[in-house]
Chains A and B, each alone.
Chain A
Amino acid sequence: MGVCLVEGNEAMAWGAVVSGCRFFAGYPITPATTIFNTMLKLLPPIGGICLQGEDEIASIGYCLGASMGGLKAMTATSGPGISLYSEHISFAIGSEIPVVIVDVQRLGPSTGSATRGADGDIQFLRWGNSGGLPVIVLAPVDVADCFLMTIKAFNLAEEFRCPVFIASNKEIAMTRENIDMDAVDIPQIIERTPPPAGKPFIPFEVPLESKVPYFLPIGGDVIVRQTSSTHGADGYITTDSDEITRVQERLKTKLTSKVKRFSFHETYLEKDSDTLLLAYGITARAARDVYHECKNSGNPISLLILKTLWPVPEELIKEKTEHVQRVVVVEMNLGQYVREIERILPDKIIDFLGQMDGRLISPNQIAKALAHG
């Protein structure tokens, strides 16, 4: 028994190691730096590699090289670094390179405030790639989530051969909290699937029953091709529009058709409530306080905490909001994810509470928004 006291960033590093991550590269940036610091302590003694890149572009570039070399890889940064990652995010999407990317969000725009939190990158994470193909974005709420969501992020990255983002926030990442990591129910760790023996390996050939190509590492006994250019199954540039269409469609649907399987969330549904509060990340904690207060005061509301933000778990959101007329979306920005809620729930009243000044949204503010709309 017993618990330890760690910050979200440390918990992520431990989650990564449990997931089998053996390569990390990063460039120092508050509030993500302590992930790098912790990985530098954890990886080298167990045969892993932790590098400090000359910049953010290099850091994620190293990860892409190492991932194709067969290692599970992670990088971590904040807004200015995510901006620089963009070309390599697009590469990882289009060329199906598994990598976990942590964005410890801080108040933007631009260099913004290094040590103030925000959830200002939520749409940027989704759309910050050329081509606009879908990505997976998970959002932890607390230190335990930082540990568990990192493991889930690795599993998704490996299973679907794609970049997976963890949208953290300074206020989770650098906040210490008690956690018993041994008590966390750790999912089975997923590894990349090698092709069945006996057939020539075609780098981006997709098995019949799946939308994800088999994986072999560059540097193994079988020759592997990787390219950032639009390619066919053989890994060579293609200009055949039919083949391009097939690949783009597959890159899209390999995630969107499976989102039900990884629609991580917490729900607190109250039969007598016509209002549902919807939150994610650090703000979900204040929302949970409000849920309990409302319940105790005899005016219950429902609460949905999303931990998978992208692809939007549309079915889940529709199902959980079926019996309410009003949805109140709270987030630490000026209105980003609320756009998705408005899009998929056109018949409901959607109210919004946002704040972007480095301070947390408090339970009082949420209670007021619930009361006044």
Chain B
Amino acid sequence: MDSLLNKSRPPVFCPGCSHDRITQTLDRAFLNMGLRGEEIAIVTDIGCSGLFDTFFNTHAFHGLHGRALTYATGLKMAQPNLHVIVTMGDGGLGIGGAHVLSACRRNLDLTLLVLNNFNFGMTGGQFSATTPSTAQVGSGFLNRLELPFDICRVAASAGAAYVRRCSGFAKNLPEEIENAVRFDGFSLLDIWGICPGRYTKRNKLTPQIIEESLAKMPPIKNPVPENQREEYGRRYRDLAAAQKQVSPPKKMTAQFDPIERKRMDVVIMGNAGQRIITAGEILCLAGLTAGFQTTQKNEYNITVLRGHSITEVILSPQAIGYTGIERPDVILALSQEGVDRRKRLFASLDNSVLILRAPGVAIPSCKAEILQPNFKSQKIKSTDWALAALIVLAKMNRVIHLEMLKTALKYKFRNKILTSSLDLLERVRTD
């Protein structure tokens, strides 16, 4: 096998930089594994670690600071057979922290080589997430105020299955890299090195000091026993293959004559949890059974089971433009919060408008016809009031008739919900 180093673009690191050694070693590891350039993608971060892809005749992807793992993830999912190697400095670890944690939790088969030289080399030796608090760096006194983190312990606690730290000067670095690349899952190799251009100008750090410091670090059992599990990509494809293919949305055919072939605007004003949006959908579906065009515009708060919920449904024989309703034909007033939210709508209503008022809801003064079906005495739960109000409408032959509604319910619901909604349909009285 030939070297995968790019002869026309030799490394440009500072004399004495451990990145230079790591470049040669990475090539050695590829050679030992017998990999061809087409089988490898080197995804690089920003800074000096971001230069790595240019030194190799492999697929290359160089992007923004801290984001290398995001590209690597998309790429590996798209090309599962590719060996995806990420080079990232200690700067990238900090800015892309969320991506590092996610990669650990996910266990996609990527190899992250952390080129840890304890500072931002390229931009002037500022402090990073791994700079010792006692170091003299380009960020003045700021690093004295923060604690560096041990990426290996962070990664292990975040779920990384393979976590090792070693010196960039270690004799067995090719094997360390090879083992990390061969690991079937996410592997993180924290490679401690020397930045002669910045860090060691003001701080003493030698291969021997690195060796001694590494020896003092708490040991990490690797592969991390509690984090062993199936590789993400394979598991993803297994689970995905077991998902049921979704058919295109079911079609509804026009099958009934409507009560009247004219446009009708219905506003349902209720509360979250009253199935207002579902009722609106059923009304739309009922409209489709009679060949109407329809739109359903919804309004609700960010709260889930609290607050108002309003749906505006238009049924029209013609194409519908504006989807808002300013002159409703029917209002289903099912909660005070809903009505209060639209109180401006009531003043202009004339006596052709029908309002179905649920128990306990006060309607602002208006000329509309107000009916009060007594859902409480009929023992209908407030979560069913929206559907019950549609049933009342259908039984009064207003907007929709019962056959339209039944067909919509049969289209929308299955099994128990269908049975209970059809039961409600029989039960609800208009008085």
Using a CB–CB cutoff of 8 Å, the interface residues on chain A facing chain B are 1-6, 10, 14, 23, 25, 30, 41-47, 49, 51, 53-55, 57-58, 61-71, 73, 87-88, 91, 114-116, 171, 174-178, 180-181, 217-229, 235-237, 282, 285-286, 288-289, 292, 359-360, 362-364
Q: Shortest CB–CB separation between residue B399 and chain A, in angstroms? A: 16
A3/B75 contact (C-beta < 8 A), A115-B302, A289-B321 known: no
Say if the beta carbon of B360 comes within 8 Å of chain A: no
Instruction: List the B side residues contacting A5 at CB < 8 Å.
Output: 249, 252, 281, 284-285, 288, 294, 296
Instruction: List the B side residues contacting A63 at CB < 8 Å.
Output: 74
A55 CA / B97 CA spacing, docked (Å): 11
Closest to B59 in A: A218
Q: Shortest CB–CB separation between residue A131 and chain B, in angstroms? A: 13
A237/B300 contact (C-beta < 8 A), A58-B98, A70-B78, A219-B79 known: no
Instruction: List the A side residues contacting B198 at CB < 8 Å.
Output: none
A61/B63 contact (C-beta < 8 A), A45-B244, A115-B300, A219-B78 known: yes
A38 CA / B99 CA spacing, docked (Å): 25
A224/B59 contact (C-beta < 8 A), A30-B302, A177-B295 known: yes
Q: Which of B57, B281, B296, B322 contacts A363 (CB 8 A)?
A: B322
Q: Shortest CB–CB separation between residue B196 and chain A, in angstroms? A: 23
Which DSSP category, helix, strand, loop or mixed, fits chain A's interface? mixed
Which DSSP category, helix, strand, loop or mixed, fits chain B's interface? mixed
A-B pairs, top 9 by smallest CB distance, nearest first, are: A61-B70, A65-B74, A69-B78, A219-B79, A2-B251, A44-B240, A66-B74, A65-B71, A62-B74
Q: Do A62 and B302 touch across chains, with their CB atoms under 8 A apart?
A: no
Q: Do A362 and B322 touch across chains, with their CB atoms under 8 A apart?
A: yes
Q: Which of B275-325 contact A (CB under 8 A)?
A: 280-281, 284-285, 288, 293-302, 320-324
Q: Do B77 and A223 touch across chains, with their CB atoms under 8 A apart?
A: no
Q: Shortest CB–CB separation between residue A100 and chain B, in angstroms? A: 14
Say if the beta carbon of B418 comes within 8 Å of chain A: no
Say if the beta carbon of B209 comes within 8 Å of chain A: no
A115 CA / B73 CA spacing, docked (Å): 31
A2 CA / B255 CA spacing, docked (Å): 10
A6 CA / B295 CA spacing, docked (Å): 10
Q: Shortest CB–CB separation between residue A159 and chain B, in angstroms? A: 20
Q: Which of A91, A217, A218, A282 contacts B63 (CB 8 A)?
A: A91
Q: Do A237 and B59 touch across chains, with their CB atoms under 8 A apart?
A: no
Say if the beta carbon of B431 comes within 8 Å of chain A: no
Closest to A175 in B: B297
Q: Shortest CB–CB separation between residue A181 and chain B, in angstroms? A: 7
Q: Do A62 and B236 touch across chains, with their CB atoms under 8 A apart?
A: no
How many interface residues does chain B have, given as a range?
35 or more
The 10 sampled A-B contact pairs (Cβ below 8 Å) are A61-B99, A62-B70, A62-B77, A63-B74, A66-B74, A68-B61, A87-B64, A91-B64, A175-B297, A176-B284
Instruction: List the B side residues contacting A64 at CB < 8 Å.
Output: 63, 70-71, 74
Select the residue from A4, A70, A71, A237 with max chain B CB neighbours within 10 A. A4
A44 CA / B250 CA spacing, docked (Å): 20
Q: Which of B241, B294, B326 contacts A178 (CB 8 A)?
A: B294
A66/B323 contact (C-beta < 8 A), A176-B295, A178-B288, A223-B38 known: no
Q: Shortest CB–CB separation between residue B206 and chain A, in angstroms? A: 32
Q: Shortest CB–CB separation between residue B347 and chain A, in angstroms? A: 15
Say if the beta carbon of B157 comes within 8 Å of chain A: no
Q: Which of B39-59 contact A (CB under 8 A)?
A: 41, 43, 53-54, 57-59
Binary flags per residue of B68-97, CB closer than 8 Å to A gives 1, else 0 = 001111111111011000000000000000
Q: Do B63 and A364 touch across chains, with their CB atoms under 8 A apart?
A: no
A181 CA / B249 CA spacing, docked (Å): 9
Q: Do A229 and B38 touch across chains, with their CB atoms under 8 A apart?
A: no
Known: A69-B78, A175-B298, A217-B79. 4 other contacts (CB 8 A): A67-B74, A178-B288, A219-B59, A237-B54
Closest to A65 in B: B74
Q: Do B243 and A44 touch across chains, with their CB atoms under 8 A apart?
A: yes
Q: Do A226 and B62 touch across chains, with their CB atoms under 8 A apart?
A: yes
Q: Shortest CB–CB separation between residue A129 and chain B, in angstroms? A: 13
Say if the beta carbon of B245 comes within 8 Å of chain A: yes
A4/B59 contact (C-beta < 8 A), A289-B321, A362-B322 known: no
Say if the beta carbon of B246 comes within 8 Å of chain A: yes
Q: Which of A3, A282, A359 contacts B251 (CB 8 A)?
A: A3
Q: Do A236 and B61 touch across chains, with their CB atoms under 8 A apart?
A: no
A62 CA / B84 CA spacing, docked (Å): 14
Select the residue from A1, A30, A66 with max chain B CB neighbours within 10 A. A66
Instruction: List the B side residues contacting A289 at CB < 8 Å.
Output: 321-322
Q: Which of B218-251 contact A (CB under 8 A)?
A: 236, 239-241, 243-246, 248-251
Select the residue from B57, B67, B82, B288 with max chain A CB neighbours within 10 A. B67
Q: Do B77 and A49 touch across chains, with their CB atoms under 8 A apart?
A: yes
Instruction: List the B side residues contacting A87 at CB < 8 Å.
Output: 64, 67
A370 CA / B224 CA spacing, docked (Å): 70
Q: Shortest CB–CB separation between residue B289 and chain A, in angstroms? A: 10
Q: Shortest CB–CB separation between residue A216 and chain B, in angstroms? A: 10
